[in-house]
Structure 1
Amino acid sequence: MRCTLIYTPSSAVIIDCPPSIAGTRDLAAWIKGTLPAGCTLKLFLATHAHGDHFFGFPVLEDYFPGMQAVASRYVAQGVEAQYAPELYEGLWKVAFPSSPSGTGLPERRVGFESLPDSNEIHLGVGKVIKVHDIQYADTHFSSFVHVPDLDLVVAGDIVYNGDCYQYLVEANSAERRAKWVKAVSEIAALDPKIVIPGHSFHGRSEPDAQYARAMLESNIAYIRGFEEELERASDARKLFLLMRKRFNRWNLWFLQKSCEAAFGAD
């Protein structure tokens, strides 16, 4: 997953962070080496309520005392469910097992404060960060972040970058997938020149409107392609094979679980 640092000469916000101790330590070191002298990291902002985008925050808190975890009121509603034993013990701690090298999750839980109803963060010198809630993407309780003066959208897991299979496990109905397409279209309507996807080994932090637009279009094409192959498939295995043939990407676990969910598997 990708993290985004936005800063002015005096204050900064980091958007999303890794779930693991080691990954977040690396992020903290990068932040310290990036921020100018006199700039304080004040806020951590989570785009959506999936733990792999916020579990590591307590590590950031150790490196930057006094910083606060925030999210839109809507996203914050979904955080507690990520710590339910079925998810936290049965999925997240299995995916990120504890080890001396720091591959596991921090012991402390993340406590979020909700943003004001305006869903805005003001960093000073006229820089406004606007959070937009959306109905659905790869989960409930999702948002994207718009920084108008940078023509920037930090999309969280609403947007992938064409190299990773999209996570359609929870978006397991035509209605939910249609809402995901609508969310991507809402981002496109802002005409951003930079779009930061949630999961990708590739991306651009320099303005490129054509690249950003193509990325957004590819997400809609993937969802529609999934639905077309779902119509052809007789079971989850067949859907998996059809999707592998149509889209050559990484993270086969995402694809496998998405195919199973489309056919009603838990």
Structure 2
Amino acid sequence: MTVHGSVFPAGGLMLDGHELYAHEVGHSDTDDTSVLHVPALDLVVAGDVVYNNVHQFVGEVRDGGLDAWHRALDAVEALRPGFVVASHKDVRRPDLPSDIGETRRYLDAAAEVLDRSADATSFFHGLKRRYPDRVNPWAIWLSARRLFES
């Protein structure tokens, strides 16, 4: 498996006495996402698949992107982690597996808002109203610009 230009051994590798495994999970907020699993620590480093109380970049959810991201979340959930570390994270919050479900619910809410939005501005305000306390609303605007490009 190639992860960010480097070859990750198919059978995993050892680090400080712990086996680490890379899993390709497909599309999340972008293509070719992978996660790192450390079974002995009950840990998944979920990269861009799982977000932790941060507005998600959903600019690629059209044309199957939403379903693909749900499949990536399924793959992380199947690892049954006790801890999930997100790349996009509210540092005030712990790294809990419940973030998998929260990421899912945000995706579904974004899809609902997208269906009702006529333009980037209405999408931005609609999603911001649904999640007023999440960090980094800039991600909503970036998503809106991408989803409603001319």
Same fold (TM over 0.5): yes
Residues 57 and 140, structure 2, Cα contact 8 Å, conserved in 1: yes
Cα shift readout 1:101-147 (whole Å, capped 9, x = no counterpart): xxxxxxxxxxx43123x16112264x210000011011112100101
Residues 197 and 203, structure 1, Cα contact 8 Å, conserved in 2: no
Residues 124 and 257 (structure 1), Cα distance of their counterparts in 2 relative to 1, 3 Å cut:
closer
Residues 166 and 255, structure 1, Cα contact 8 Å, conserved in 2: yes
RMSD after superposition: 1.7
State the match for 2:42 in structure 1. Answer: 151
Where in structure 1 do 4 or more consecutive aligned residues deviate above 2 Å?
A: 202-205
Task: Tell me whether 1:199 sits opposite 2:75 in the alignment.
Answer: no
- Could you say what secondary structure the match of 2:55 adopts? coil
Return the offset for 1:239. Answer: 0.7
Residues 119 and 237 (structure 1), Cα distance of their counterparts in 2 relative to 1, 3 Å cut:
farther
Residues 231 and 128 (structure 1), Cα distance of their counterparts in 2 relative to 1, 3 Å cut:
same
State the match for 1:123 in structure 2. Answer: 15
Q: Distance in 1 between matches of 2:148 and 2:139?
A: 15
Residues 13 and 21, structure 2, Cα contact 8 Å, conserved in 1: yes
Q: Which runs of 5+ in 1 are unaligned?
A: 1-71, 77-111, 206-210
Task: Tell me whether 1:132 sits opposite 2:23 in the alignment.
Answer: yes
Residues 172 and 261, structure 1, Cα contact 8 Å, conserved in 2: no
Residues 119 and 132, structure 1, Cα contact 8 Å, conserved in 2: no
Task: Tell me whether 1:165 sits opposite 2:50 in the alignment.
Answer: no
State the match for 1:114 in structure 2. Answer: 7
- Could you say what secondary structure the match of 2:84 adopts? strand
Task: Tell me whether 1:229 sits opposite 2:113 in the alignment.
Answer: yes
Q: Distance in 2 between matches of 1:222 and 1:115?
A: 31
Name the structure with the higher strand share: 2
Given candidates 191, 210, 218, the residue that maps to 2:102 is 218
Return the offset for 1:174. Answer: 4.3
Task: Tell me whether 1:263 sits opposite 2:148 in the alignment.
Answer: yes
Normalised to the residue count of structure 1, the TM-score between the two structures is: 0.52
Which of the pair has more CA radius of gyration? 1
Residues 119 and 245 (structure 1), Cα distance of their counterparts in 2 relative to 1, 3 Å cut:
farther
Cα shift readout 1:152-177 (whole Å, capped 9, x = no counterpart): 00001111112x110123x2414012
Give the length in aligned residue pairs.
148
Q: Distance in 1 between matches of 2:137 and 2:94?
A: 24
State the match for 2:70 in structure 1. Answer: 181
Residues 29 and 58, structure 2, Cα contact 8 Å, conserved in 1: yes
Q: Distance in 2 between matches of 1:234 and 1:123?
A: 50
Return the offset for 1:235. Answer: 0.8
Q: Which amino acid is 1:226 matched to?
A: A
Higher-RCO chain (CA-CA 8 Å, sequence separation at least 6): 2
Cα shift readout 1:179-229 (whole Å, capped 9, x = no counterpart): 111111111112110111111123436xxxxx42x2110000000100001
Q: Distance in 2 between matches of 1:153 and 1:262?
A: 30
Q: Which runs of 5+ in 2 are unaligned?
A: none
